[in-house]
Structure 1
Amino acid sequence: MGQLDLIHREQREQRFRQIQIRDGSTSSLAIRKESPCLPDEDFHDGKRRGYSGTELSEDIWCHIHSLMTPRDAARAACVSRAFLCSWRCYPNLIFNTKIMGMLQDRGFTHRVDDILKKHSGIGVKTFELDFSRCGKPKVYEYLHGWLQIAVTPGIEKLTLLMPEDEAVSFPCPVLSDENGSSIRYLHLVHCAFRPTDNLGCLRNLTELHFDWVRITGDELGCLLSSCVALERLKLTRCPEITYMKIPSWLQRLSYLQVLECQRLRMLRNEAPNIYSFHFEGDRVEVSLGESLRLKNLHMICYRFLHYVREELPYSVPNLETLNICSHSELVNTTMAFSPSKFLHLKHVGIYIIGAYDYFSLVSFLDAAPLLETFDLRVVAFQHTIGELLSDNPSQLQQMAGYHHDKLQRVKISRFYSWKSLVELTCHILKNSSSLERLTLDTTDDRFDAATSKCSYNRSDKCSFLAKPMDAHKSVLAIRKHIKGKVPSTVQLDVVEPCSRCYPVEL
């Protein structure tokens, strides 16, 4: 290679670096490695001429372009004829305020419309349209046309986020024929979805997420009838679902999440291979069926604790992690001592709202012989007051014959000076030979004693929302009835209110 050629090559590389992506993404690195020459122009015999595009095939240019982010791909298309050509087939069409910038509603709409009209509709893999942070865009006249351009055979990911007050119905016909057969991910927010019998088969759909989507239980069943490959199903705040059935033919479904569907009254699961189930609801009849593979269960429900203890060991025998939040539990109802066991349960978190006989949880701990961590959170309203602790330690209830040999870590948040809580704590200390750490938090569980410091301004106080008087009583109860029973092998952590901002007033 002659000296003149070396100079020309250095000039080309310097010029190319000027149009490289400034954020240092891997796509720009790939371009630099695969193509040392400028895609726009070439030099020959000391003369500049237009780049012919023969050094790399069109497929390679399109692949390189697809590796860029949408913003970088648009920039590259502005300076390169090769990339301008592939821009019409760019596979990842993502339109949100982060990508497009903070535009006015009309500017956002017109820019998206201009980009899509110039796109050929060929090769689209991802289409994401996020109008949630805009005001009230005129999507009625644009949405259907945009989806017709983007949703074509080969699309894999479709996301549509609309404003909360925008009454938009998703045009299901765009998924007909073969358009929907390649979709693997579908996420809709704030719209109506009314599937019909002629809806295309979503046989490759693996993840479905509806948030604030108006769809009935029957319509959901119609949709799920074609989703034989579904692996993850998430429904959040869908206001029209009253009855929900997860059919048995969803053999690949491993993750199910149903949150805050306020009109839901019955949920019946027949899918056999669910691994994780997350549910939040109120006064809902839940039937998990024989979920033999269920490992992780997260439930927020009405008076659910008794059902968990008595029924779940039979339907979900292989459960390993359990987190439940139950409210309005019967105050004086002692949990029955059932012989059923959670033979694989290792981690339990219980969140009880209101007063309760917490000592009855001893039978729950006994039902999990492999339990390693136990996290109890208590929320007491002003009208729910537990039985107060007596000064006579002999009145503390005890229960013999229960040993928790694997239990290592226990935390009780919002610890109150209630008799049943002190009894439960003392029982754990006495019957847990492997216990390593006990944490009793007398604050609202948001106060970090290790990091929260007094403000330099003496007029301010540390962030502490629980009642200081109740917290101080709890600290005194811990010192009087619990601290002396802690073995030397157990680390006791007591989270107290800040002594400067909340001095003892007893």
Structure 2
Amino acid sequence: MKRESTQVLYGAASKRRKRPQLQLSNLPMNILCSVISKLPTRDAIRTSTLSSQWRYVWCDHTDHLTFDGSTFICRSVKFFPPYYATAKKEEFNARVDAILQQHSGEGVQRMQVKYALDNKSADHLDRWVSFAIASKTKELTLFLSDRRIKSFIMYNEGSSLFTRPKDLYSFPCHFFDARNSSYLRCLQLASVYLKPPADFSGIRNLTRLSLVDVDVEDGDLEGFLSHCSKALEFLEIAYCGTLTAIRATRLLNKLKHLRVGVCDLLEKVEMNCCCLTTLEYMGPMVSLAFGETSSLKDVCVKFMDVDAALDYINMGFPSTLSNVEMLYMHCIDRQRVTLPIRPLKFVHLRHLRLELVISECKDRKIDVLDYAHLLEVAPFMERLELHMWIDCPHQPYNRRTDGEVRSNLPSHRHDHLKWVYITGFFGYKDQVELVLQILRSSAVLKRMIISSRVIILHECAGEMIDVYRNRHAVDGRMIAVDLCKEHADIVEVLGAV
């Protein structure tokens, strides 16, 4: 017999009791299944090797299936981290097929395939889409590029190069009909070919649609949207190089969020919608037309070609967007425009963020003081952000050489502006004049921050950004400190010391 372990405590022998070890397999089945359902696909599959009891547990209780390069590790590579050892296409396809054959197909809420596949894998991809439909999946993602593309609004300055399959997989729209597609709520497609057939009945209950690097013609996109118009709330279209127009003639009466970006051939966006609240656009300057936008409050536009921001605000901005409350605009300015006598008023605008890239290697024509016009355009604005990147010969303001600042300009009294943030302040004369004009015009201003730091970068910046940080920023800070001595209670100067 084994001796029970004892220990002496204050002269008396006491038995040491062994605590029973808690085994994961001892958990009630409902709790165990809940734990497995929360695991990543790769880890959930690995539980099948623990024991015969665990072999098929994951098959019935994994509601999120994600297959990507890290899901399967190539067996021939043993000494490298997982992200260096992704499976080959043939092995990837075979393993996904094997897993889906074992899975019961019940309760799959989300299914994602993120791997560089083309039309050569069409048979496999068709089976996976059929599995998603049969399992009543609510979210389906096919991301068939060889690298993950960020959502365009997070992408900075258009570095959108990536390798795409030459022979794109043709997404099987004909698999979906009114009967079997009622459960799908979210569809995300990347690097596929999309051409719905003539008898395509649509995905009636789709609320989110994302098309990234999708090869689709204008008419086919319009037809696809018209058959998904019932419940669509979010639409993203980005890096679709074949599109010249994004058009929705049928009313999208529930569309709230629209993202369009980096479609190089795009010329116009025409949407028939009545509940749109957020618009995000990035790419060349195009025509924006909306049927009814009384609900549109937030607009973010990043123009990647050369034009004038003030000209677009005064003339190009759709008059139907006059109810906008928050406007975020990025523009490259190279030409000065004639300001209108009676500009379009944005009476609902409360927050304006304007990013200006002024790039002129020789004589600069842009007059920064012109942007004081924004105070007249938005009479009820409360927050103003003006972020500048000026690539011009550096000439910080000097009273002896540049003369007195312009002080006899008409001042439009602004009774609502409370907060101003200016960056890229290098101390140019027209920058100094703009600051003084804002201070003189704003009746209730509580805080102005002036920074010589550059927080926006143009793709041509290169090594010049170090020059700005080392020299321009110092000059800008010194001039700003001297300029705002009389307004020290309101103005805070940031930047190089």
Contact 1:70/1:99 (CA < 8 Å) preserved in 2? Answer: yes
- 1:84 lines up with 2:56 in the alignment: yes
- 1:367 lines up with 2:377 in the alignment: yes
Task: Decide which moves more: 230-239 or 418-427.
Answer: 418-427
When residues 177 and 269 of structure 1 are mapped into structure 2, their CA distance, relative to the original with a 3 A threshold, is closer
Task: Decide which moves more: 234-243 or 62-71.
Answer: 62-71
Q: How far, CA to CA, are the matches of 1:73 and 1:338 in structure 2?
A: 65
Aligned to 1:152: 134
Give CA deviations for 1:317-342 in whole Å, capped at 9, x if unaligned: 321110111224522x2432425422
Aligned to 1:319: 324
Contact 1:89/1:119 (CA < 8 Å) preserved in 2? Answer: no
Aligned to 1:458: none
- 1:490 lines up with 2:462 in the alignment: no
Aligned to 1:345: 349
Aligned to 1:95: 67
- 1:112 lines up with 2:96 in the alignment: yes
User: Among residues 363, 388, 396, which one is paired with 2:406 in the alignment?
Assistant: 396
Contact 1:153/1:181 (CA < 8 Å) preserved in 2? Answer: no
When residues 131 and 369 of structure 1 are mapped into structure 2, their CA distance, relative to the original with a 3 A threshold, is same
When residues 130 and 484 of structure 1 are mapped into structure 2, their CA distance, relative to the original with a 3 A threshold, is same
Contact 1:242/1:263 (CA < 8 Å) preserved in 2? Answer: yes
When residues 353 and 184 of structure 1 are mapped into structure 2, their CA distance, relative to the original with a 3 A threshold, is same
Tell me which amino acid in the other structure corresponds to 1:238. Answer: C
Q: How far, CA to CA, are the matches of 1:11 and 1:112 in structure 2?
A: 45
Aligned to 2:312: 307
Give CA deviations for 1:83-125 in whole Å, capped at 9, x if unaligned: 7166157432211245445332244333222101222434432
Report how many aligned residue pairs link the two structures.
Answer: 432
SS of structure 1 residue aligned to 2:263:
coil
Mapping of 1:31-180 within 5 angstroms?
32=27, 35=28, 66-78=37-49, 79=51, 81=53, 84=56, 87-88=59-60, 90-100=62-72, 102=82, 103-105=86-88, 106-132=90-116, 139-152=121-134, 154-163=136-145, 164-166=163-165, 167=167, 168-176=169-177, 178-180=179-181
SS of structure 1 residue aligned to 2:436:
helix
Shift of 1:435: 2.4
Aligned to 1:51: none
Shift of 1:225: 0.9
Q: Which runs of 5+ in 1 are unaligned?
A: 1-9, 21-31, 40-55, 448-460, 499-506
Contact 1:88/1:119 (CA < 8 Å) preserved in 2? Answer: yes
Q: How far, CA to CA, are the matches of 2:65 and 2:313 in structure 1?
A: 45
Tell me which amino acid in the other structure corresponds to 1:94. Answer: T
Aligned to 1:504: none
SS of structure 2 residue aligned to 1:466:
helix
- 1:409 lines up with 2:419 in the alignment: yes
Q: How far, CA to CA, are the matches of 2:39 and 2:20 in structure 1?
A: 20
Aligned to 2:267: 265
Give CA deviations for 1:268-295 in whole Å, capped at 9, x if unaligned: 2221211000111214222234311111
Instruction: Give the share of equivalent positions with the same residue, in percent.
Output: 24
Relative to the length of structure 2, the TM-score reads 0.77
Q: How far, CA to CA, are the matches of 2:281 and 2:235 in structure 1?
A: 12
Could you list the runs of 4 or more consecutive aligned residues of structure 1 that deviate by over 6 angstroms after TM superposition? 10-13, 60-64, 384-389
Task: Decide which moves more: 385-394 or 82-91.
Answer: 385-394
Instruction: Choose between structure 1 and 2 for higher RCO, CA contacts under 8 A separated by at least 6 residues.
Output: 2
Q: How far, CA to CA, are the matches of 1:386 and 1:250 in structure 2?
A: 52
Aligned to 1:224: 225
When residues 377 and 61 of structure 1 are mapped into structure 2, their CA distance, relative to the original with a 3 A threshold, is closer
Q: How far, CA to CA, are the matches of 1:109 and 1:204 in structure 2?
A: 30
Shift of 1:373: 1.8
Shift of 1:266: 1.3
Tell me which amino acid in the other structure corresponds to 1:244. Answer: I
Tell me which amino acid in the other structure corresponds to 2:414. Answer: H
- 1:16 lines up with 2:16 in the alignment: no
Q: How far, CA to CA, are the matches of 1:124 and 1:310 in structure 2?
A: 50
SS of structure 2 residue aligned to 1:149:
helix
SS of structure 1 residue aligned to 2:391:
coil
Q: Which runs of 5+ in 2 are unaligned?
A: 1-16, 74-81, 146-162, 359-363, 458-462
Contact 1:181/1:200 (CA < 8 Å) preserved in 2? Answer: no
Shift of 1:153: 5.9
Task: Decide which moves more: 227-236 or 467-476.
Answer: 467-476
Contact 2:192/2:214 (CA < 8 Å) preserved in 1? Answer: yes
Task: Decide which moves more: 239-248 or 210-219.
Answer: 239-248
Q: How far, CA to CA, are the matches of 2:320 and 2:312 in structure 1?
A: 11
Contact 1:169/1:192 (CA < 8 Å) preserved in 2? Answer: yes
Contact 1:310/1:338 (CA < 8 Å) preserved in 2? Answer: no
Q: How far, CA to CA, are the matches of 2:420 and 2:70 in structure 1?
A: 43
CA-atom RMSD, angstroms? Answer: 3.4
SS of structure 2 residue aligned to 1:145:
helix
SS of structure 2 residue aligned to 1:279:
strand
